[in-house]
């Protein structure tokens, strides 16, 4: 891999990590703390939505993020031809 391709791969990897961390931050800190009062006006299964996001919803998103990251990173590896056989 050339140095230019290596830098492009590293930039794409960092961009993907930044996107995943932004979603993680929004879900955990944003929905669970910052927007909890606004979300509490909505009920989900009899519970306020802010409470639901803090207790249940964030975990679902975190597990989904693991699979999404793995898939997108695998695609990125294939695009830069650094994937494992």
Over the stretch 41-67, which tens digit does the pLDDT of each residue have?
A: 999 888 899 888 888 889 999 999 999
Q: Which two tokens stand for residue 52?
A: 């639901």
- Average pLDDT for 20-36: 92
Q: What pLDDT, on the 0 to 100 scale, is given for residue 7?
A: 94
H helices within the chain, ranges in order?
Answer: 3-25, 36-39, 49-52, 58-79
In a domain, 62, yes or no: yes
Q: What pLDDT, on the 0 to 100 scale, is given for residue 13?
A: 96
Are 22 and 30 in contact by the 8 Å Cβ rule? The answer is: no
In a domain, 56, yes or no: yes
In a domain, 84, yes or no: no
- For 25, the domain range is 3-79
- Average pLDDT for 63-72: 97
The tally of domains found in the chain comes to 1
């Amino acid at each position: 891999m050339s140095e230019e391709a290596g830098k492009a791969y590293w930039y794409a990897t960092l961009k993907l990590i930044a996107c995943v961390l932004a979603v993680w931050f929004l879900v955990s800190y944003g929905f669970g703390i910052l927007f909890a009062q606004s979300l509490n006006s909505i009920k989900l299964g009899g519970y306020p939505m802010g409470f639901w996001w803090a207790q249940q919803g964030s975990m679902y998103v975190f597990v989904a993020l693991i699979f999404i990251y793995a898939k997108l990173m695998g695609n990125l590896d294939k695009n830069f031809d650094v994937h494992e056989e």
